[in-house]
Amino acid sequence: MKTRALRLVPGGLLVLAATALVHAAPLGDAASALVPAYPYAVFGAGLLLGLRFSRSRVILALLVLALADRALHSWSAGGDATAGSGRAVFAAVALLLPVDLAAIGWMRERGVLGAPGRWGLVVILLQMFAVASIRRPELAAVGGALELALVNAGLTEWTAIPQVALLAFAVALVAATLRFLLGGGAIESGLLWTLGAAFLALTARRIGVPSSLYLATGGLILVVSLIEASHAMAYVDELTGLPARRALGEALDAVSGRYAVGMIDIDHFKKFNDQYGHDAGDQMLRMVASRLAQVTGGGRAFRYGGEEFAVVFPGKSVDEVRPHLEALRRAIQVSAFMLRSPDRPRRKPKPAADGRLAGKRVFVTISVGVAEGERRRSRPQEVLRAADEALYRAKEAGRNRLST
């Protein structure tokens, strides 16, 4: 939960910076000078990165923002968002923008050339054609429908956004929040904040610098989210959420002075995997990883590969880290592991009549090998090898123990 909350920080800071830029009088002239180039730079860079990393959702969201910005500037620029021929365009953009962003958030990533990406592009282009056509006199009834009053008009006087579009924003906010909470990553967090930036862009009663600044900032949030997601793919293990082997290598390269490394292996994991299946094996890996992430003594846990993990203790010796690794081993040993069958609910099952939990409880143990190194005297690969040899001795001695 803490990691997920941290994913919200970059987007929030960017929205806050854009808001400060819009409302800070001393920065008004500077903002006006930068805004014309800002959207082109953001959307151009974002589209290139999206193509490079084959992220269709980011590309579609950037297209939605860019086309919304161009539509507002082409047909409502400098105009009052509450009246005139540009009002229908404004109302249409205000309705479609949140709907599109929420829908993109729930799309499955299938690459730029995948079916979802192709159909998404078709829908966006059709929407652009519809927005361009809505100013025609014969479509005045459509513009009127977009202005339908759902509640007393006095309740929404604070914004130029029509009530129908406000409802769309509210529904989109709920949908985007749920998507983020249900296992969303950096992209989902970015789309959530992009939705907020789009709302701020349309809240003003005149189209111009503020709307472009907010919409471009929404694009910048997506670019940052894309970079975060790409970093996570390279450095974070998807199954356990721990830093991956590549991150371990860089952490060892960056350490200075003395350090200790603990290599950890789940005892009899292959037998467990064969008996209960790969899904149960994945559950066990996640459970052990969650305990390792809480290791004390300044250690940092990594997924090394398979059922093996590593813990790095900068500035510590073997004797100093032994109590912390022993405490970790004992904590895992006494932790009951409840097997989750495919039809088992996510919530904890109620106790049976005799007080026991329904389902099969199993226990897991780990073996630990520890070695220490000194930056000037030993290479990280040598320390890892020594820790791995110590781990082998622990397993040969009967498992569920620590060896040096």
Pair type for strands 366-374 and 258-266: antiparallel
For residue 307, indicate whether it is catalytic. Answer: yes
Read off the tokens for 58: 């980011």
- The runs of H, that is alpha helices, within 236-301 are 245-254, 269-276, 278-292
Q: How far apart are CA 137 and CA 143, in angstroms?
A: 10
Q: How far apart are CA 217 and CA 357, in angstroms?
A: 50
DSSP 348: P
What burial class does residue 399 get, using C-beta atoms within 10 Å of its C-beta: 0-12 exposed, 13-18 middle, 19+ buried?
middle
Q: Which residue in the block uniquely carries the two structure tokens 């940092």?
A: 300
Q: Amino acid identity of 112?
A: V
Beta partners for 336? 363
- The runs of H, that is alpha helices, within 114-162 are 115-133, 140-146
From residue 402, how far is each of 286, 293, 371 by CA, in Å?
21, 18, 11
With a CB cutoff of 8 Å and minimum separation 6, the contacts of 391 are 263, 264, 265, 367, 368, 369, 403
Assess contact for 72 and 62: CB atoms under 8 A. Answer: no
Q: How far apart are CA 246 and CA 401, in angstroms?
A: 27
* Helix (H) and strand (E) counts in the chain: 16, 7
Q: How far apart are CA 28 and CA 26, in angstroms?
A: 6
Nearest to 190 by CA among 241, 227, 239, 237: 227
Read off the tokens for 354: 């005799």
Q: Amino acid identity of 260?
A: A
Q: How far apart are CA 8 and CA 159, in angstroms?
A: 26
Residue 381 CB coordination number (10 Å): 11
Q: Amino acid identity of 106?
A: W
Beta partners for 314? 259
Marked catalytic residue, from 188, 228, 307, 372? 307
Enumerate the active-site residues.
Answer: 307
